[in-house]
Structure 1
Amino acid sequence: MFKRFRQTSATAVAAVLGCALIVAAPAAAKEKPKKEEEQKGAQLKPSKEFSPALKKLTEAAKAKDMAALEAALAEGQASATSPDDKYLVSFYELQLGIGKSDKAIQGKALDGLLESGLTPPESLAPYNYFSGSFAYGDKDYAKAVKRLEAAKAAGSTEQSLPVLLMDSYLKLNQVDQGLAVAKDAIAAARAAGRLPSEELYVRPASALQAAKRNSELLDMLAMRLQDYPQPVIWRNTLFILLQQEASDKVMNLDTFRLMRATKSMTQRPEYLEYAALATEAGYPNEAVAVIKEGQAANVIQTSDERFNTILESQEPRAKADAVALKGDAAKPATAANPKLARQTADGLVGIGDYAAAISLYEKAAAGGDPLAQYRLGVAQALAGQKDAAIASFAKVQGDRARLANLWTIHLSAKAPAAAAAAAAATAPAN
């Protein structure tokens, strides 16, 4: 028997999801009000009583005199009677908020502008976006959803909008709505040739994990790997998959093989569990190879008694097993028996004889062995036959369909360095 390296607490599972920094709510744009003033000014008809205050507001704003603007606003608020007057008060209140870098004033002004019904169509997107972002920062998620959905409907192209909207829904425990926003934003970013924000994967995954929607959680993590194929993310994803596989040792072993292929084995406990599983399943060559790789990576110390004990028992067996496997592979009776063909192929993969393994897996798969169909794709992948492997994985059904999909993602994904470069190239400027 052996000890599993996996923790089982919900906290531990949530921790490996990772947590990127949420996009900070930005300050209101400074150019939009100027454009609106030019476009809207000619259409508004201030009342006679409001005109003296309006003159002072205009002059103070033009001079960027915040003290004078604040005083004029007090006068204007007292004399504003018509909807146009009140719209202009909110408009200049926004100028004051921008000039003083005061988000509270900006937020109040934006509410006045939007609720007036007089905001021109071209300003609906930015005003709703900034109002929504301020609401998000204030943790008023219901208001944030309302404003951000309005900004989206008005055609906002702010890159942080989907993240803020998604997270607002998630904060309201509206997981399905948040998930839909995330998936739409991911698809849009990919279509535009941009790397989707990692927030679009991490936060929905955390919400799905909390809701115990495990299948959807793994689907989201698989989507994340398509854009972020770094080893640490592979390890986190496969860690969660191992948690959910529980006591299925055969499935665990196949999962560790993918972890090994993605170079995401980084700690001693997982090497120990992998080696123990391979030993227990009767794959001495695989157990020895895994330990040797761990030693070469300096994850396992050559003085580690636990691993040395495994090596002492498995190395002699490995040599004898390799000879026997080659002999069995050449026997017609082996190829004629699907189960025996698959078992022999499993051992051949352990000694790196992928060509012989592939031939036997093909025969076993043709005989209706679903596990052979899956492991055929693995052998082809390890042999560098990318297209053939992807085609084989596409035929996998049943309990290994998810692993087959993950292998396909691994074979199809951009290199981590390329993904990182793309992320840097598409990151918005501060």
Structure 2
Amino acid sequence: MIKRFRPMPATAMAAVLGLAMMTTAAVPAAAREKPKKEAATKGPQLNPSKDFRPFAQKMDAAFKKKDAAALQAAITEGQGAATTNDDKYYLGFFTLQLGILNKDQALQEQGLNTALESGLVPAADAAIYNFFSGQFAYQKKDYAKAAQRLEAARAAGSTEAALPDVLLDSYAKSGQTDKAVAFAKENIATMLAAGQRPSEQMFVVPARALQEANRTEEMLDLLALRVQSYPTPQIWHQTLMIAIRGADKDRTLDTLRLMRATNSLLERGEYAEYATLASQAALPGEVVAVIREGKAKRVIPAADAELDELAKTQVERAGDEESTLAAYAKRPATLSNPKVAGVTGDALVGYGRAAEAIPLYQAALSAGGDKDLWTYRLAVAQAMTGDAAAAKASFGQVTGPRKTLAKFWLAKLNAEGAPAAAPAPAAAQPVTGG
């Protein structure tokens, strides 16, 4: 007896395996020899072995009648006789159908795996068989197998929306960090190029794997891509609290400034630390501005003895500084001294006068000042004045300890300049079965 199985349409298989209330698939039709062209469109020709053929006939008959008990009996009887790949595909196919009839996920998984291992699953069904086999393996926490099956589904052209996230997590949880990172970067680049926003998992999963592997710089690269796609205050806050770890006072202050620029200073303690560090840096105008902002946003209580006292002392400390800065900034002695020029620029930025600070930072660089520090501060001032092109060029030159912060500023600028991305397609629900 020769059987030719018609491949089940991918949409039909997805519906069958993805719904709690399952229905049976169309019965594969018996067929005589037909032209090769037709065979290619209808799946592999199966030639059960002599010993297995009687059981195959019983399975076919039971399935046509939707007689689950008879189908179960035929499968049980025939298992020991399935020796060839044709037999195994036949056995897998009908085991899958029994699982669907009985709403039994274990049988569905067994049937899919048996059919796949036969090597005879039709090309038209390879994507969906591998996808759901991978889903079952993932649910059982067999992540290496899940990754293998989902890779095969992807190679076969699967368009399941859930596949990228599940494959990525399978890579990460099976210890395949390099594959997880490479796949995430490829997927992110593809989606962004198509004007779509990748899922958060596409950033978070590989970032977590990189963190566990102590590959901090690579982790921060992915987190920068994440805030570019999801520039919310909460995500900026989470990200910059990671970036701030281990920073010295100067870089901590610069990080808190970026948090302020991204509206991600969310706690009273962050404003307090910012104000304290700015005070230690002799920037009274910035201290007062930050405390006032925290109160306006109601993050700092209206009556806060500690910060109220700090603000009072900084107002007194500032005196007439703001009104005299413009003239001081133009003095040759200021412009020729890199340290003086730079800190004068910092003071101007603290008073909200970033445009006036730009020539001071340029003077600090021209006079031989700390290239990394003053290039970074110049870029920030350019960004604050809305000159994104100049800011990006300057941030691109930062190579020292502030390179990470420059990376996040670039993410902020890219997010502001990018058109709104469409959300990623909704992921399919995990297989729930019956």
Indicate whether 1:320 and 2:337 are aligned. Answer: no
For residues 36 and 415 of structure 1, the distance between their equivalents in structure 2, rounded to whole angstroms, comes to 55
Q: CA deviation at 1:228?
A: 1.3
Query: Which one of 144, 147, 155 corresponds to residue 142 of structure 1?
Result: 144
- Greater Cα offset, 55-64 or 190-199: 55-64
8 Å contact 1:230–1:416 — kept in the other structure? no
Q: Tell me the residue number matched to 2:3.
A: none
Q: Tell me the residue number matched to 2:205.
A: 203
For residues 414 and 336 of structure 1, the distance between their equivalents in structure 2, rounded to whole angstroms, comes to 36
Query: Which one of 115, 118, 126 corresponds to residue 120 of structure 2?
Result: 118
Give the letter for the 1:28 counterpart. L
- 1:412-427 superposed matches below 5 A: 412-413=414-415, 418=420, 422-423=422-423, 426-427=425-426
The percent identity for this pair of structures is 50
Q: CA deviation at 1:386?
A: 2.0
Structure 1 residues 40 and 66: alpha-carbon distance in aligned structure 2, compared to 1, 3 A threshold: farther
Q: CA deviation at 1:358?
A: 1.2
Structure 1 residues 42 and 400: alpha-carbon distance in aligned structure 2, compared to 1, 3 A threshold: closer
For residues 191 and 219 of structure 2, the distance between their equivalents in structure 1, rounded to whole angstroms, comes to 21
Q: CA deviation at 1:68?
A: 4.3
- 1:237-256 superposed matches below 5 A: 237-245=239-247, 248-256=248-256
For residues 149 and 353 of structure 1, the distance between their equivalents in structure 2, rounded to whole angstroms, comes to 54
Larger radius of gyration between Structure 1 and Structure 2: 2
TM (normalized to structure 1)? 0.84
Structure 1 residues 169 and 82: alpha-carbon distance in aligned structure 2, compared to 1, 3 A threshold: closer
1:318-365 CA-partner distances (Å, limit 9, x unpaired): 342212322311323222322221111110111112221112222223
The structure, 1 or 2, with the larger RCO (C-alpha pairs under 8 Å, 6+ apart) is: 2
Q: Report the 3-state secondary structure (helix = DSSP H, G, I; strand = E; otherwise coil) of the residue aligned with 1:244.
A: coil
Task: Give 1 or 2: higher helix fraction.
Answer: 1
Q: Tell me the residue number matched to 1:300.
A: 300
8 Å contact 2:244–2:252 — kept in the other structure? yes
Indicate whether 1:172 and 2:190 are aligned. Answer: no
1:246-285 CA-partner distances (Å, limit 9, x unpaired): xx11111111110000000010110000000000100001
TM (normalized to structure 2)? 0.83
Q: Report the 3-state secondary structure (helix = DSSP H, G, I; strand = E; otherwise coil) of the residue aligned with 1:118.
A: coil
Indicate whether 1:223 and 2:222 are aligned. Answer: no
- Greater Cα offset, 143-152 or 50-59: 50-59
For residues 95 and 320 of structure 2, the distance between their equivalents in structure 1, rounded to whole angstroms, comes to 84
Q: Tell me the residue number matched to 1:100.
A: 102
Indicate whether 1:332 and 2:332 are aligned. Answer: yes
Q: CA deviation at 1:299?
A: 0.5
For residues 255 and 414 of structure 1, the distance between their equivalents in structure 2, rounded to whole angstroms, comes to 19
Q: Which runs of 5+ in 1 are unaligned?
A: 1-24
Indicate whether 1:235 and 2:237 are aligned. Answer: yes
Q: Tell me the residue number matched to 2:34.
A: none
8 Å contact 1:228–1:416 — kept in the other structure? no
The Cα RMSD (Å) is: 2.9
Q: CA deviation at 1:148?
A: 2.3
For residues 320 and 63 of structure 2, the distance between their equivalents in structure 1, rounded to whole angstroms, comes to 88
Q: Tell me the residue number matched to 1:428.
A: 427
Q: Report the 3-state secondary structure (helix = DSSP H, G, I; strand = E; otherwise coil) of the residue aligned with 2:245.
A: helix
Q: Report the 3-state secondary structure (helix = DSSP H, G, I; strand = E; otherwise coil) of the residue aligned with 2:196.
A: coil
Aligned length: 401
Q: CA deviation at 1:287?
A: 0.5
Q: CA deviation at 1:417?
A: 11
Q: Tell me the residue number matched to 2:155.
A: 153
Q: Which runs of 5+ in 2 are unaligned?
A: 1-13, 30-38, 430-434
For residues 215 and 289 of structure 2, the distance between their equivalents in structure 1, rounded to whole angstroms, comes to 36
1:123-156 CA-partner distances (Å, limit 9, x unpaired): 2222222212211111112222322232233333
- 1:50-61 superposed matches below 5 A: 50=52, 53-61=55-63
For residues 76 and 357 of structure 2, the distance between their equivalents in structure 1, rounded to whole angstroms, comes to 84
Give the letter for the 1:195 counterpart. R
Query: Which one of 82, 85, 91 corresponds to residue 87 of structure 2?
Result: 85
For residues 418 and 318 of structure 1, the distance between their equivalents in structure 2, rounded to whole angstroms, comes to 43
Q: Tell me the residue number matched to 1:392.
A: 394
Q: Tell me the residue number matched to 1:365.
A: 365
8 Å contact 1:195–1:426 — kept in the other structure? no
- Greater Cα offset, 338-347 or 122-131: 122-131
Structure 1 residues 304 and 397: alpha-carbon distance in aligned structure 2, compared to 1, 3 A threshold: same
For residues 392 and 107 of structure 1, the distance between their equivalents in structure 2, rounded to whole angstroms, comes to 56
For residues 282 and 133 of structure 2, the distance between their equivalents in structure 1, rounded to whole angstroms, comes to 63
For residues 171 and 184 of structure 1, the distance between their equivalents in structure 2, rounded to whole angstroms, comes to 19
Q: CA deviation at 1:289?
A: 0.5
